[in-house]
Structure 1
Amino acid sequence: MRKWLPLTAVCLGAFMLLIDVTIVTVALPDMAGDMHADFAGLQWVMDVYALALAALLLGAGSLADRIGRRRLYLGGLGVFAAASLACGLATGPAALIAFRAVQGVGAAAMMATTMALLSATYQGRDRGVAFGVWGAVNGAAAAAGPVVGGLLTEHFGWRWIFYINLPLCALAVLVTLRAVAESRDPQAKGLDLPGMAAFTAGAGAVTYALIRVGENGWTSLTTLGLLGLGAAAFAVFVLVELRGSHPMLDLALFRSRPFVAVMVAGLLLSGAAFSYLMYVSLWLQSAEGMSPVGAGLALVPMSAAALVVAAVAGRLLHGAPPRLTIGGGLLLAGAGALLQAWMLDPGDSWPALVPGLLLTGVGVGTGISALAATAMGAVAPARAGMAGGALNSARQLGTALGIAVLGAVFHSGLRSGLGEAGRELSEPLLSGGAGRLLAEAPAGAARENLAGLVDAAFASGLRDTFLVSGAMGLAGALAVFLLIRGTSGKAAVPSQGTAPVADLAEPVRS
């Protein structure tokens, strides 16, 4: 079984970096109470990790090709472990956010090298087995995140969601040193540092503007200035990629309509399906009084459905047109969010969300299984690695921007539900303090009235959040149906010169 040790090393890293996207969700109320973090701070704890992943993935892949994938993977494990320790030791929200960003840097180095290491290590049937196990581990990480986070937070404290990474990183380093061979691309070109800087600045400015819009308003000079800065940075990114000698993203790929559809789908599917979970967790724990484990279990229907459906869809729908699998998946994800908005009323608890969570999970499992294969089939073989990296970046950016956009919507809806008399309660509620407010209220009619106000406020904020999430899913489905025409046909390949491309009616099996 020694031949599977490299797979073990790679899967350990993949599991850690992916579970850390969702493991934080159920720990947010405890973090807020322990460190007195405000609503924007909680959003940044979630967002900055995804932003670092989105911004650095493509550049990390290029660096790995040059200096060695094993070397960069080991470096990523080291950075991830050190940042995890620092996150656990953080004494304030600013330090935690900063160390979460560093953790995202290490995760980007790991994510950018996992597939390349498996491709270099295994051939033939073994490669298929390796990628199958790797894909299952990725799905399991997303499903396990809220539950593992709940167990660690409830029984050991929220800091252990970071400390648990240390022994896993040590094991991954040991196995990698003993079993994984070095590989690199002898034809690798230079790094696109200006492109990385411009993309990071643009994504960061837009995300910060959206996170602060609840306090600043959409028309404030701060919001408009940050959005303008983000637009300018993205414009610089486009110019750099068009004129640079070693662009990290060949913008000619976007001449392919199917490739554009995949990027839009990855962005909106992540935003529609996953970004509202932190606000649901705040509601379940602070207003409904559920434990971290209970809140984690309440979110399992979506991730479990996605995991099961993705496994089934990979076998049964491998020949289905991506227009139907990806577009249909987005349609179901959007419908699931809208179903949650329709079923949630003041006084309801977590069971009201289960049907919508299951429907969203089915949509995620259906659509996500075809995204990577369609991205690969829409570009020339020489650009397959770049296309995969771009898709992963789009998905992480969708999560980050979705958290920011839905945070503004949730903030506005909650304040609207409170009415004029209760506006001063909005920040404590947004920061996970609903349980404390209710406990401190005088017993009797005053507490009952406050409980009714809190229920109405959360129901209002969550309904608006689900409605916007549903609109994201439906918009993504519409884009896919418009951009991928018909059920068969060739897609133009816009790389350097003309190259054949897989028929999108028969996407490559993942």
Structure 2
Amino acid sequence: MRTQRWTLVVVCAATAMLMLDIAVVNTALSKIAGDLHTGLHGLQWVVDAYTLALASTVLTAGALADRFGRRRLFTIGLALFTVASVLCAAAGDIAFLNSARALQGIGGAIMFAVSLALLANAFPDMKERAGALAAYGATIGASFAVGPLVGGALTSGLGWRWIFLVNVPLGVACLAITRARVAESRDRFARRVDVGGLVTLTAGLFLLILALLRGNEDGWGSAIIVAELAGAGAFLAAFLAIEAQIAEPMLPLRLFRNGAFTGAQVGAFAISASFFAVFFYITLYLQQILGLSAIEAGLVYLPGTVIMFFVSGATSAMGERVSGRAMVSVGLVLVGIGMALMTLAQVDSSWAIGLPGSIVAMIGTGLFNPAVSGFALGSVPERQSGLAAGVNDTFRQAGIAVGVAALGALIPAGAALGQGDPAAYVSGMHDALWVCAVLCFAGAIACWRLLRAPLGAPAAAGHLMADAA
């Protein structure tokens, strides 16, 4: 029992730390831009260097954890993340910061990929696991939402470098707990490292994000953007071809014949590419258009964050009366409605204009996160929980990276940095919010159709995994 509690504590603490580092930088972007003398392109990479590195390596990290030991990989990820945080705080220019953020993302990938697998091993009983996943889901949503407040407080009080330095004592504490209290586990039938899949997936995602980031600046029909998009398509197609042909793929494509498994990935991508990605631009709106300080911008998210935390915690008890399928689908619908309500924001609006939309979206996130994690774990045999967690986290982080870059094509973000008309920024933000809302509604429909298997019933997935092996 003590091992279970300590595992839940360290997993939630580590997850909070890495999710905060996705969101916490948002309120510090203006200060970073001034201190490091960079523009919008450099600022986007502060977010995307982290999420892209995380997205492109998390699947491999999950497979390695199943093979070499989940506690061992978790420890390596914690150490790498902590060291990279020190490097981020020491950055003297934007290139160094973004490089350190990429290293931080690799450490985060290992932590993220192993987190759910550690919980699955520590909580084999499905009822107890539901409670652990509720806490885990609440941690993800609350950390991402409260990130701007934490970032604002640290940036306003101590300086932006402290948003990275605060990770150091947390990382050291998590390392000590992991070594002393967390049990080791692995898959006795783990697959070999899929080098071809790793290389093609990483290259494909990198070129795709790079093209999306540079499209507005270089022109969507320019030779370099067309070449990057074509290269991304070629590498991603090669990745699928490799996974379909080799004996031990990093991503067994037969898994996607299981509707519950596929639905978990569709839902994770939908919420990440929309709600989590648009945070970047909403925070710029609050600070640069409405003139809020870093800490004031963070406080705007606080009411919704508190409500979401309690909603996530309640999902464990709700699971006996409400299906996971309903929680995922209804959660996405509420997130979509929330973002539609945020389009009421104007250049001269009060800060409170976004509260109704934020609260509705946070309620939806509170319902969604624990339920989708349950589907991700319950749709494969427990021995391959690292692989399942890695796949789900890949779709989450790829969604954030693609979303931040793609929404930048709709929003003239330079206007928020004094390089254009604020009204144009707000108009572009409205377009982006509507696109995000539609994506959530489409994701809700897809999840309702796909998530037909009972939550926690891995039988169908077990047959598929046996076939894939």
TM-score (norm 1): 0.83
Range that drifts further, 181-190 or 58-67? 181-190
Matched, 1:195 2:183: no
Alignment partners' CA distance in 1, 2:368 and 2:172: 35
Paired residues of 1:143 and 1:304 also in contact (CA < 8 A):
no
Aligned to 1:44: 45
1:188 CA displacement: 2.4
Contact kept, 8 Å, 2:290 with 2:348, in 1: the verdict is no
Closer, same or farther: CA 32–62 of 1 in aligned 2, 3 Å: same
8 Å Cα contact 2:63/2:250 also seen in 1: yes
1:492 Cα deviation from its structure 2 partner: 5.4
Counterpart CA distance in 1 for 2:6 and 2:447 is 39
Tell me the amino acid that sits aligned with residue 480 of structure 1. C
CA distance change for structure 1 residues 185 and 478 in 2, over 3 Å: closer, same or farther? closer
Aligned match of 1:465: 432
* Deviation of 1:408 (Å): 1.2
The verdict on how the C-alpha distance between 1:492 and 1:114 changes in structure 2, with shifts beyond 3 A counting, is closer
Further displaced range: 166-175 or 122-131: 122-131
Given the alignment, which residue of 311, 314, 331 partners 2:313? Answer: 311
- Listed as ranges, the matches of 1:287-302 within 5 Å are 287-302=289-304
Contact 2:270–2:443 at 8 Å: present in 1 too? yes
Summarize the alignment of residues 258-407 of structure 1 with structure 2, pairs less than 5 Å apart: 258-341=260-343, 343-379=344-380, 384-407=385-408
- Cα distance in 1 for partners of 2:2, 2:332 equals 41
Name the Cα RMSD after superposition: 2.8
In 2: Cα distance, 1:194 partner to 1:57 partner: 15
Equivalent of residue 480 in structure 1, options 420, 437, 447: 447
150-159 vs 261-270, greater mean Cα deviation: 261-270
What are the within-5 Å matches in structure 2 for residues 64-463 of structure 1?
Answer: 64-121=65-122, 133-341=135-343, 343-379=344-380, 384-411=385-412, 427=414, 429-430=415-416, 432-433=417-418, 454-463=421-430
- CA distance change for structure 1 residues 177 and 46 in 2, over 3 Å: closer, same or farther? same
Question: Contact 1:57 / 1:108 at 8 angstroms: preserved in 2?
Answer: yes
Letter matched to residue 436 of structure 2: S
- Secondary structure at the aligned position of 2:409 is classed as helix
Q: Which piece of structure 1 moves more, 55-64 or 170-179?
A: 170-179
Q: Separation in 2 of the partners of 1:460 and 1:127? A: 44
Deviations 1:128-147 (A, max 9, x none): 76555444444442233111
1:3-24 CA-partner distances (Å, limit 9, x unpaired): 5444443333222112111111
- For 2:212 and 2:26, locate their aligned partners in 1 and report how far apart those are by CA, in whole Å: 19
CA contact (8 A) 1:380 1:495 kept: no
**Distance between the aligned counterparts of 2:161 and 2:290, measured in 1?**
23
Residue 442 of structure 1: aligned partner: none
Distance 1:396 1:138 in 2: 12
Match of 2:464 in 1: 495
Distance 1:113 1:484 in 2: 24
Counterpart of 1:97, as a letter, is: N
Give unmatched runs, 5+ long, in structure 1. 415-426, 435-452, 500-510
For residues 397 and 269 of structure 2, the distance between their equivalents in structure 1, rounded to whole angstroms, comes to 8
Q: Which has the larger radius of gyration?
A: 1
Query: CA distance change for structure 1 residues 394 and 319 in 2, over 3 Å: closer, same or farther?
Result: farther
Quote the offset at 1:37 in angstroms.
1.7
Change (3 A) 1:386 1:71: closer
CA contact (8 A) 2:113 2:389 kept: no
Q: Whole-Å Cα distance in 1 between the matches of residues 76 and 407 of structure 2?
A: 34
Is contact 1:301-1:361 (8 Å) kept? Answer: no
Distance 2:6 2:313 in 1: 24
Q: CA distance change for structure 1 residues 65 and 491 in 2, over 3 Å: closer, same or farther?
A: closer
Higher relative contact order (CA 8 A, sep 6+): 2
1:260–1:184 CA distance, 2 compared to 1 (3 A): closer
Q: Is the 8 A contact 1:26 1:292 kept in 2?
A: yes
Distance in structure 2 (CA, Å) of the matches to 1:143 and 1:408: 24
**SS of residue paired to 1:275:** helix
| 3-state DSSP of counterpart to 1:345 | coil
Q: Deviations over 1:463-487 (max 9, x none)?
A: 1221221121122123234445799
Structure 1's 182 and 498: CA in aligned 2 closer, same or farther, altered over 3 A?
A: closer
Cα distance in 2 for residues equivalent to 1:105 and 1:144 = 23
1:332-380 deviation per Cα after TM superposition (whole angstroms, max 9, x unaligned): 2112111211x12331132111111112112222222321223344445
Q: Secondary structure, in 3 states, of the residue corresponding to 2:235?
A: helix
Structure 1 position 113, deviation (Å): 2.2
Structure 2 segments unaligned to the other structure (5+ residues): none
Q: Is the 8 A contact 2:141 2:369 kept in 1?
A: no
CA contact (8 A) 2:134 2:312 kept: no
Task: Please identify, of 254-263 and 13-22, the stretch whose mean Cα deviation from structure 2 is larger.
Answer: 254-263
Structure 1 residue identity aligned to 2:333: L
Deviations 1:239-287 (A, max 9, x none): 1111223211110011223432322221011122111111111122123
CA contact under 8 A between 1:241 and 1:248: conserved in structure 2? yes
The alpha-carbon distance between structure 1 residues 331 and 8, as it changes in their structure 2 partners (threshold 3 A), is: closer
What residue identity is the alignment partner of 1:478? I
Aligned length: 464
State the 1:398 CA deviation: 0.8
Q: Residues 406 and 96 (structure 1 numbering): CA distance in 2 closer, same or farther, change over 3 Å?
A: same
Deviations 1:303-340 (A, max 9, x none): 33332322223322454344433222222211211121
For 1:149, give the aligned amino acid.
Answer: G
Contact 1:146 1:300 in 2 (8 A): no
Checking the alignment, whether the CA contact within 8 Å between 1:335 and 1:360 is kept in structure 2 is: yes
TM-score, normalized by length of structure 2?
0.90
Distance 2:124 2:329 in 1: 33
Q: Which moved more, 1:479-488 or 1:146-155?
A: 479-488
User: How far is the alpha carbon of 1:32 from its aligned partner?
Assistant: 0.8
